[in-house]
Structure 1
Amino acid sequence: MQNYLYASIDLKSFYASVECILRNLDPLTTNLIVADKERTDKTIILAISPALKTYNIPSRLRLFEFKQKIHLLNKERLKQSKKHIFKAKSFNINELNKDINLEIDYIIAKPSMATYIEFSAKIYSIYLKYFDPKDIHVYSIDEVFIDLSSYLDKYKLSAYELLTKVLLDILHTCKIIATAGIGTNLYLAKIAMDILAKRQKIDENGLLIAFLDEKLYKYKMWAHKPLKDFWRIGKGIALKLENLNIYTMGDLARFSLNNEALLYKHFGINAELLIDHAWGIETCTMKDIKNYKSQNHSKIMAKVLPFAYDHNQAIKVLKELIDHLTLELIKHNLKTNHITLDIQYDKSNLENLNSYKGFIIKDDYGRNIPKNAHASINLENYTNSLKLINKKSLELFYKIIDKNLSIRKISLSLNNITTNAQENFQELNLFSDLNEILQEQHQLAKEEKLQKARLQIMHKFGKNAILKASSLDNETKGISSLIGGHNA
């Protein structure tokens, strides 16, 4: 049996580090957050610099929550300062540590997804200097898995030495600090990076690299708390496990010996993964990942609204989402035959409980909100027609929307995506009007040609070279300049 060795590499506070580098600042000493302050103080912070993490400030806060935490930190500093007055501000952590009379300051950097993608591509090119693409799996914009198994003999280096070489190359070329985990399977590599490496002291090269095999995993990780630190265990799963008196991976492993059926009852098919991971087992290999082909392809876009919108405002946003996704289909010669729409209502709808009698759920932050509206529709044929997709999406919207409720998030998904060559042909029967069908196909072809011309103009002169009138509305401004929901 082949002995595998994998690496998991994460770019430290990637977005924030890039913003520091663009300003010729050191991410390790600069207080910087990545957030779009133009969206109001409720906007979510996408990243904080390593310097700010030394204050035990968690990531993914909302901007107003972050400001509150900084205010409290400064309040404590003020008590210790001379005359209880700050003489100046600083966003440099070294200066702040040396002088208690300085007020903690910070930089707010507006997200620039195009820049982050550019940096990520540059770092990926560094990986390609050492490894074949078939041995690299891009997990996210700032994280990869690498199969090291065949490279240790090739380079006559240990896994630790090889990763040190790669990480130093990233640091010297891009000035980005990376953290790495080495494991005898993909799961152990991920845990070594996520939990061990990020909590240990830096080595003589200024790097964080940790190793786990199954034996070390049991020794080092079986007693680790909390459970939600582990890959693929969120708050919900952790809470369910705690209800079974399972608080550590060691507890879960021991529990599985005699209570496997109970775990399957509570977690379904996911129980198999939980049990394997409790024992440090992961059967999926890099080859399995590369050979996997999804049976259902989708194009999804969601928009978190800056404030609560009524249904008329929301319609304008939905139309922009439809336009964006349909252009994506046309650009890549794809078609869809299934549409899904999700509407999340705002928490402000429950301020007057007497006026709302429907179901109540909790959002990601544990706040009560009206139950989401959700619906799907099958199309008669595969299509990338903006006219048809727009019509069917709006039908869904009016079918599920409660016009009395304000809206905070809209998600649209075009599913069962296939290429033009793979699409199903329309089946004719004795009652089909051939002339009508041919005329309809002619109109669809004409529309597709028009949209392709629009794409060519946008490619040559920029995304905003052609703007619909609706794009000038306040409700929809900015959607055309987003990548993945963030500023390009």
Structure 2
Amino acid sequence: MNVSDKQLPPSASAGNPDHIYLCIDLKAFYASVECVERGLDPLTTNLVVADVTRTQKTICLAVSPALKAYGIPGRPRLFEVEQKLKGIKLRTGREITYIAAPPRMQLYIDYSARIYSVYLQYVSEEDIHVYSIDEVFMDITHYLSANRNKNGRPITARELAKRIIQNVWAATGITATAGIGTNLYLAKIAMDIVAKHVKADADGVRIAELNETNYRQLLWDHRPLTDFWRIGRGIAKRLEKKGLYTMGDVARMSLQGADTNGYGENLLFNEFGIDAELLIDHAWGIEPCTMADIKHYKPSTHSISSGQVLPHAYDFKKGRLIVQEMVDLLVYDLIEKDLVTSSITLHIGYDKNGLKESHYRGGVHIDHFGRAVPKPAHGTEKLTDAGGQAIYSHSTKKIMNAALKLYDRIIDRKLMLRRVSLTFNDVESAVDRKVICRQVSMFTEDVLEQEQEDQEQRIQQALFRIKQKYGNNAVFKGMNLQEGATTMERNNQIGGHKA
């Protein structure tokens, strides 16, 4: 039995809980923006957001609600959309046309900023957490009594949610779905699972509400598990191997106690480690994290990273060029934020055709699509000075030398590359580390090296200011013009897609 087959629970805001949270998701956001920009209705227009200049395998970033009604999923590949519509034509004789809109990432960011300004008309910034470009959490606990309905009474959570959604639609033409819950998790689940199955009200708005008790009544036997927040296919498969197919199964298993034979909650902790604690909490509809916790969270370690899927398979030499370009770009991030790093990590994904090569004797990895591919290369290299001492730096020269040394060490030169990820680890403030660096330099009397690094830093700062003023492609290096280079194209992208 699914959500739509059941009677929905009473309001989550009943009983005066400690907190009331609201989660809002903008419906098919990218596709809706493209429809609005064309003067079309997102609910009746067949549209996908996809770069048709790439291959038919390119992923559609969004699908309009009208196209989804034909059974097309939210993130299909372009050829899958074509196949689905051809199948409908064969069965019914009806030809369905659609618009393929190229991505315009900066436009979506601008719309998101406009919508965020609408949220601020109702809720303070300190009570809003931006989860993604099209989704937010709000702690609306203290805003209900401050707002009144037509009868002069404090508004309900549902009434406030509807006001916000209607204001967003009036300001932008974008529709939204909302979930209300007595904790952050329940608000998210109410939106993700329940609201998407309820009938829209007279104004086309879908809002669902959950509290811990109603969550258990409504969703303990809901399938599939992957519908729930933070449960991907991998976790779902591991649970199913243990005979656990629903959140109710997980909750009941946790009641069995710590059995020494690996049953009960021990089964979950043995399988998932500390993550089992969160899994059990969510099975019961419990989430101790609050908005205040999110706002005050400070990670114990920091890193910055960059990754790209290459347009086609690259050999060793071109892959090395990509690493050089990525180091160059990521160093500018360090400079912009006045940060330094102590080590770098590289992750290289190989082309699947490498397994067909007779020379390959390495490990085999199953990728996200279930395909067998050569085992990825992975490694970390620490930054050191001339004497071999560990250091923090944002010197392009030092970081580049370390990155290329690492690349040459971990790469299989006979295989072709398809994915490259680069991470700068243990990132800290350059100001906090500068005194230490100076003391070491004076102690070792390595004045020349320090002067060279200072000169390099001045050049980096000058280049950074030029790029800030005139754009990232205002200054570029000779390597950016070599065959296979991607930096200049990527400088015109946001998130790997056209800006």
Asked if these proteins are the same fold (TM beyond 0.5), I'd say yes
CA contact (8 A) 1:320 1:479 kept: no
Structure 1 counterpart of 2:437, from 426, 449, 466: 426
Aligned pair 1:172/2:170, yes or no? yes
Residue 382 and residue 16 in structure 1: after superposition, are their counterparts in 2 closer, same or farther (change >3 A)? same
Find the counterpart in structure 2 of residue 455 from structure 1.
464
The one-letter amino acid paired with 2:494 is: I
The 2-side partners of 1:338 and 1:67 are apart by 46
Aligned pair 1:440/2:438, yes or no? no
CA deviations over 1:146-201 (Å, ceiling 9, x no partner): 00111111112110000101001100101111111000000000000000011111
The one-letter amino acid paired with 2:236 is: A
Find the counterpart in structure 1 of residue 477 from structure 2.
468
Q: Within 5 A, what are the aligned runs for 1:15-54?
A: 15-54=30-69
Q: Within 5 A, what are the aligned runs for 1:350-429?
A: 350-352=355-357, 354-379=358-383, 380-423=390-433, 425-426=436-437
The 1-side partners of 2:312 and 2:483 are apart by 12
Aligned pair 1:117/2:109, yes or no? yes
* Structure 2 unaligned regions, length at least 5: 1-15, 148-153, 257-263, 384-389
Note the C-alpha offset of 1:37: 2.3
Find the counterpart in structure 2 of residue 131 from structure 1.
123
Note the C-alpha offset of 1:432: 5.5
Find the counterpart in structure 1 of residue 289 from structure 2.
284
Structure 2 counterpart of 1:106, from 98, 108, 111: 98
CA contact (8 A) 1:44 1:61 kept: yes
The one-letter amino acid paired with 1:239 is: K
The 1-side partners of 2:111 and 2:233 are apart by 32
CA deviations over 1:214-265 (Å, ceiling 9, x no partner): 1110111011000010000011111111111111111111111100111100
Note the C-alpha offset of 1:55: 1.1
CA deviations over 1:2-59 (Å, ceiling 9, x no partner): 7110011111111111122222222111121122222322222211111111011112
CA deviations over 1:268-312 (Å, ceiling 9, x no partner): 001101111111111111111111101111111101011111111
Aligned pair 1:150/2:150, yes or no? no
Find the counterpart in structure 1 of residue 495 from structure 2.
484
- Secondary structure of the residue aligned to 1:300 is strand
CA deviations over 1:428-455 (Å, ceiling 9, x no partner): 6799541xx2222222222222122212
Structure 1 counterpart of 2:84, from 45, 69, 87: 69
CA contact (8 A) 1:40 1:306 kept: no
Q: How many residues align?
A: 462
- Secondary structure of the residue aligned to 2:361 is coil
The 1-side partners of 2:31 and 2:444 are apart by 60
Once the two structures are aligned, what percentage of the paired residues are identical? 48
Note the C-alpha offset of 1:361: 0.9
Note the C-alpha offset of 1:423: 1.7
The 1-side partners of 2:483 and 2:399 are apart by 24
The one-letter amino acid paired with 2:380 is: S
The one-letter amino acid paired with 2:203 is: N
Find the counterpart in structure 2 of residue 227 from structure 1.
225
The one-letter amino acid paired with 2:182 is: T
Aligned pair 1:305/2:316, yes or no? no
The 1-side partners of 2:454 and 2:89 are apart by 63
The one-letter amino acid paired with 1:186 is: L
More moved, 398-407 vs 446-455: 446-455
Structure 2 counterpart of 1:261, from 247, 260, 266: 266
More moved, 66-75 vs 149-158: 66-75
- Secondary structure of the residue aligned to 1:42 is coil
Note the C-alpha offset of 1:60: 2.4
TM-score (norm 1): 0.91
State the Cα RMSD in Å.
1.8
Residue 226 and residue 445 in structure 1: after superposition, are their counterparts in 2 closer, same or farther (change >3 A)? same
CA contact (8 A) 1:304 1:409 kept: yes
The one-letter amino acid paired with 1:66 is: V
The 2-side partners of 1:230 and 1:474 are apart by 45
* Structure 1 unaligned regions, length at least 5: 79-99
The 2-side partners of 1:30 and 1:430 are apart by 65
Aligned pair 1:215/2:213, yes or no? yes
